[in-house]
A and B are shown apart, each in its own frame.
Chain A
Amino acid sequence: MKLKHFLHNRTALAGLTITTLFLLAVFFGPMLSKWSSNQHDFMNALQPPSWAHPFGTDSLGRDVITRVLEGARISLLISVAGVFAAMVFGITAGLYSGFHGGWMDVIVMRVVDLLFAFPAFVLALFLMVALGYGVTNVALAIMLVYLPIFARITRNMTETVRNDAYVQAAQVMGQGTPRILFREILPNISAPILVQATIAVAFGIVIESGLSFIGLGVQPPTPSLGVIMADGQEYFRRSPWVLTLSGLSVTVALLGLNLLGDGIRDLSDPRLKVRE
């Protein structure tokens, strides 16, 4: 997939632009702000947008934009950590399971089916109750929600390529199984996994926000999008800006990552590549 193709695909380009802007904003935005995310100012609580506070202040007088950017970064990092862990374990399980087949495949896939049987958020909720609150456990919950998805995609893709001639050729040349799995097969099936990863990160943010919103995830005063939304909804009628901005940033992140994923999918499909 060349950069040229990427820039010619409008979906991919839009996704990349939004995602990049989002990343720049959450990583560098708070540095530019003269406020810090936990700086209380009770005299100026629930102020509407002004020059000093472009998106107003919350119930404790904290600058909303600074807090939202800071919170979005924490939400994003939690989601990325969870999805990354899910990829490491899911892909490994999927590769071995798809390559060897047999009883190991049956066991791995039945465990995956079991995890799939629960709706993602219900599973995450259950895990939080079982594991307890906290940042690490939110990431762990996200991992367990996405692990079966990565395992299943990888397994099915592996099964389709495992009898290809180059895999046999690699065997004949004396390459060991791990090498064949990670160096021969994985690069060939990486496109759908990559697409799934971008979308998983987006929905990982939603899971994080959801868990924190109902108080099971990140604990205040640490900002995360869910925590800020929970704060904001209490005063929504009086000062809607708190909830609106935090909600919008979840939307923007989702939009950017989804478009990016769609774009990668389009580009990796050879049937669609003709349009150049």
Chain B
Amino acid sequence: MLLSVLAAIVGTAIVLLMDWFPVDAARRVGQIDTLYDVLLIFSVPIFVLVMSVAIYSVIKFRARPGDLGDGAPIHGNTRLEIFWVTIPFLIVSGLAVYGWIVLDDIEAKQPDQMVVKVTGQQFTWSFEYPKERVKSSQLVLPKDKPVEFRLNTKDVIHSFWVPEFRLKSDVVPGMTTKVRLTPNRVGRWNVVCAELCGLGHATMRQVVQVMEPAAFRSWVKRHGAGGQQAAGGSNGPTADGKRAFAANGCGSCHTFKPAGSTATVGPDLDQLKSVAAKRRPGKSARAYVRESITDPRAFTVKGFPKNVMPTTFKKDIAPEQLDALVQYLLAGGKSK
């Protein structure tokens, strides 16, 4: 008896002291972590109780060798049964109400929200700041500013998750889902896709960078007002190609050293330069690469699974960007 009370106290203390969660990087995350701790406080004693009764009974009432007797013919005890219906009922009801309150709190709409549109596609994320007029393949957020993410997908279901923010929402074809939060810690955290979305699902990880508001403002200035095109003018087609490669998430499936990607879901693009002209009889290297991007079902390189490459690029990549991308790939990342 004393032993199990002790075990319950020690056990509860241990699980409460354990560092379960990743860093807490958004407002109200603490409420979720506290809710989890409260769940632990109820859980451990119940588990210890079950274990104690089981172990005690096995030791105390174990049959001696050759014992052919029966146990006490106890068929039940109404009071005891009412007790163990009522107590769990009260516990779970209380926890449900508590959970509901926390839920309402974390989802409450904040004044002065910044809107970020998030688009998922196989197998990358892209981001748009409508008010700031920024489009980017990186997610950058100012500290202490409430954000509302509006989530869309170009193909299948993805799930937008930042463990440090404790928030997650599926990204569903045909609808816009929303997540609200306020980052409150400067740093770099992972954006993880949590819903199986196909071959490259495991590689669909990006980074969210939370910075001081001043740093964020200058980031917006650098990338703002049409972002990519504006910055592109001075850098020429190679930079355009590189940006198109990054913005469309090519690197999450393909190896291409100039862009720093090493994924192996699709063919290695470092070799593209040498094989592109020979792959499709009657098609030039340029035409073949173009076809592979805009109509990937037309031909699949031997040894790679069919129907994996998304078919959305035809409408997502503007013609001039496509030209730049094809040239970038065929030039092996070098400018001519």
Asked if A and B bind, the verdict is no
